[in-house]
């Protein structure tokens, strides 16, 4: 399994209020104790930090905010010494506008690097097409010096690279090789399915009342993306013997495309991050509008991905990352009574599936959303721009605030909660983003040695994956898919069967699992006093009760609760 660190919010060693490499080094023991195989580090490269490091101005240096290359090398050595691997974030759909490549590109139309980015003339005195930026407004910005627009799918300070240009691709390959030579073990590739845009950059289908519209189908899984990834695999990894990890972050990717990207026979990527289950309760045209949570739809979505990549390709499994609200507040129940049980139950149903599980910092503690109150509480540029956009358009400010509180990326980015004391032990200075007040009781110190904690449950889930091949290889058959409260499925290999079942609600439920499971053994439960065997009267589940049973082995060597 993979553990994601968002360095800015993980641990601060120098008191400037921003997490850093020194802080990570001090806290590696926590990650190791969880049983982590691979660490994915969100960007630590040199960056103006407009998008917290997803705007890179030098791919071959560490931002002074986070430390130095020497510190990075030390950290990598220590990660390896502990038997873990380290995966870097590769952000190459775009650079920062302060990257020397862009500075040169914008300097004149004749500059050799002009074509490294996407420049276009105005169309009838306005933007070249109607594409919206993910961060509000147009995806184009006018540049006075040379009298053309440049493309940026994200912020105007994140210009898109032109992947059609072979020199750009070569520069990316060289950068990757440079990090592999330093010893890193692979890459998580930011919005990598956006790198090939549809020829001619045609308008997206207009939406009444919107000047700029989402144009996903004009650049997601575009015409040459598979060629580019196959080429990258050949050029960067082809001559190396070691095993590397490649994960493509792919908003809008379909199951059919994901199969192509991750089919080992095609040699592109090991796995992709898909987003279908992350938009399940968001309105189609506005991610900040809550459209109601439908557990059946959530289950069906993840099960559909399980089925689609069952015999070719490979899934990644995640509830959280630095762009998503906290799962226990989102799909769980963060009330005092059910907070721990629901955090564990959600972990159970995710980690029981087929694929590689990812845990985002703090998820292993059941960290919750932040109690945002006012617009000033948000610092993420996506949130700030959204709020401004709603106000400028005369929209409902209170509704916008409620949507932001629920879905804002800042929910994921509040500092890691290490201790009950000042600033949760994250920093001795002033934290760059407020610490969640619930750190007084929700923190690592309170959990790591407590056998009943969310942390202990995550550790048990991770240990099970290392011990039970059926969790890795077994196929998956959903049970009671139409049930709005029970999430259950069976994993099976030739010799072993595993039943994963969770009651995703407060009301008690009894389910009839059938006589086949009466002989099964409990290997993991999330509530005290869970009976060791299923009763003949059925499986009686308390609120947010989650269990894993195994069958087909005489005895199970390492029983964990």
Residue selected from 12, 20, 51, 127 as contacting ligand ISL according to rule CB under 6 A: 51
Instruction: Quote the crossing angle between the two packed helices 225-232 and 255-262, to the nearest 10°.
Output: 20
Residue selected from 127, 185, 190, 410 as contacting ligand ISL according to rule CB under 6 A: 190
Residue selected from 6, 10, 45, 54 as contacting ligand ISL according to rule CB under 6 A: 54
> Closest distance between ligand ISL and the C-beta of residue 98, in Å?
15
Could you tell me where the beta strands, DSSP code E, fall in 305-425? 316-317, 356-360
Q: Quick check: 91 binds ligand ISL (CB under 6 A)? A: yes
Q: Quick check: 154 binds ligand ISL (CB under 6 A)? A: yes
Measured between alpha carbons, how far is 545 from 524 in angstroms, rounded to an integer? 11
Continuous H helices in 370-453? 381-392, 397-407, 410-413, 444-447
Assign residue 141 a region: left if phi > 0, alpha if psi is -120 to 50, beta otherwise?
beta
* Antiparallel, parallel or unpaired: β 271-273 and 497-503: unpaired
Total binding residues toward ligand ISL, as defined by CB under 6 A: 13
Q: Quick check: 247 binds ligand ISL (CB under 6 A)? A: no
Measured between alpha carbons, how far is 122 from 187 in angstroms, rounded to an integer? 36
Residue selected from 287, 388, 553, 561 as contacting ligand ISL according to rule CB under 6 A: 287
The catalytic site residues sit at: 190, 249
Residue selected from 160, 221, 268, 323 as contacting ligand ISL according to rule CB under 6 A: 323
Q: Map residues 324-363 to x or -, x wherever contact with ligand ISL holds by CB under 6 A.
A: ----------------------------------------
**DSSP code string of 128-178:** SS-BBPTTSSBSEEEETTTTEEEE-SS-TTSPBB-TTSHHHHHHHHHHHHH
> Closest distance between ligand ISL and the C-beta of residue 382, in Å?
6
Size (the chain), residues: 561
Measured between alpha carbons, how far is 560 from 332 in angstroms, rounded to an integer? 23
Measured between alpha carbons, how far is 149 from 136 in angstroms, rounded to an integer? 17
Residue selected from 157, 218, 406, 409 as contacting ligand ISL according to rule CB under 6 A: 409
Q: Quick check: 251 binds ligand ISL (CB under 6 A)? A: yes
> Closest distance between ligand ISL and the C-beta of residue 323, in Å?
4
> Closest distance between ligand ISL and the C-beta of residue 292, in Å?
18
Q: Map residues 115-144 to x or -, x wherever contact with ligand ISL holds by CB under 6 A.
A: -------------------x----------
* Residue 171, number of CB atoms within 10 A of its CB: 16
Q: Quick check: 221 binds ligand ISL (CB under 6 A)? A: no
Q: Quick check: 160 binds ligand ISL (CB under 6 A)? A: no
Measured between alpha carbons, how far is 63 from 130 in angstroms, rounded to an integer? 35
- Is the CB of 322 or the CB of 509 nearer to ligand ISL? 322
Q: Quick check: 48 binds ligand ISL (CB under 6 A)? A: no
- Residue numbers of the site for ligand ISL (CB under 6 A)? 51, 54, 91, 134, 154, 190-191, 249, 251, 287, 322-323, 409
């Amino acid at each position: 399994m993979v553990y994601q660190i968002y360095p800015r919010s993980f641990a601060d060693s120098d008191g400037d209020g921003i997490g850093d490499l020194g802080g990570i080094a001090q806290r590696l023991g926590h990650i190791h104790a969880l049983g982590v195989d691979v660490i994915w580090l969100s960007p630590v490269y040199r960056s103006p930090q407009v998008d917290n490091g997803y705007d890179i101005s030098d791919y071959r240096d560490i931002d002074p905010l986070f430390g130095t290359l020497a510190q990075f090398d030390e950290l990598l050595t220590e990660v390896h010494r502990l038997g873990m691997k380290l995966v870097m974030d590769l952000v190459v759909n775009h650079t920062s506008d302060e990257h020397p490549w862009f500075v040169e590109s914008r300097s004149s139309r004749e500059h050799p690097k002009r074509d490294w980015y996407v420049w276009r003339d105005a169309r009838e005195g306005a933007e070249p097409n109607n594409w919206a930026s993910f961060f509000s407004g147009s995806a184009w910005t006018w540049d006075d010096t040379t009298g053309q627009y440049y493309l940026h799918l994200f912020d105007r300070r994140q210009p898109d690279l032109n992947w059609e240009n072979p020199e750009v691709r070569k520069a990316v390959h060289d950068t990757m090789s440079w990090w592999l030579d330093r010893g890193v073990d692979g890459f998580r590739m930011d919005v990598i399915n956006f790198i090939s845009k549809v020829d001619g950059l045609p308008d997206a289908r207009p939406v009444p009342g919107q000047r700029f519209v989402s144009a996903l189908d004009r650049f997601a899984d575009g015409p040459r993306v598979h060629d580019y990834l196959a080429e990258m695999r050949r050029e960067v990894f082809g001559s190396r013997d070691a095993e590397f990890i490649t994960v493509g972050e792919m908003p809008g990717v379909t199951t059919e495309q994901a199969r192509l990207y991750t089919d080992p026979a095609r040699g592109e990527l090991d796995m992709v991050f898909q987003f279908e289950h992350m938009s399940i309760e968001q309105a189609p045209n506005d991610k900040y509008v809550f459209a109601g949570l439908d557990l059946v739809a959530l289950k069906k979505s993840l099960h559909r991905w399980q089925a689609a990549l069952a015999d070719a390709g490979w899934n990644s499994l995640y509830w959280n990352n630095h762009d998503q609200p906290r799962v226990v507040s989102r799909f769980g129940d963060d009330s005092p009574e059910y907070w721990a049980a629901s955090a564990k139950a959600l972990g159970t149903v995710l980690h029981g599936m087929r694929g590689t599980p990812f845990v985002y910092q703090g998820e292993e503690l059941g960290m919750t959303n932040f109690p945002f109150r006012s617009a000033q509480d948000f610092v993420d540029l996506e949130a700030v721009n959204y709020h401004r956009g709603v106000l400028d358009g005369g929209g409902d400010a209170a509704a916008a605030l409620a949507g932001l509180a629920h879905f804002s990326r800042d929910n994921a980015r509040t500092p890691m909660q290490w201790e009950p004391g000042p600033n949760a032990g994250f920093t001795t200075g002033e934290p760059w983003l407020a610490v969640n007040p619930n750190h007084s009781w929700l923190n690592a110190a309170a959990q790591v040695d407590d056998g009943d904690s969310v942390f202990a449950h995550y550790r048990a889930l991770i240990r099970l994956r290392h011990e039970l091949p059926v969790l890795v290889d077994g196929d998956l058959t959903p049970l009671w898919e139409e049930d709005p409260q029970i999430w259950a499925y069976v994993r099976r290999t030739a010799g072993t069967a595993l039943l994963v079942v969770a009651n995703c609600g407060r009301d008690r439920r009894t389910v009839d699992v059938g006589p086949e499971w009466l002989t099964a053994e409990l290997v993991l439960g999330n509530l005290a006093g869970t009976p060791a065997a299923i009763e003949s009267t059925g499986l009686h589940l308390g609120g947010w009760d989650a269990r894993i049973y195994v069958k087909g082995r005489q005895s199970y060597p390492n029983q964990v609760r």
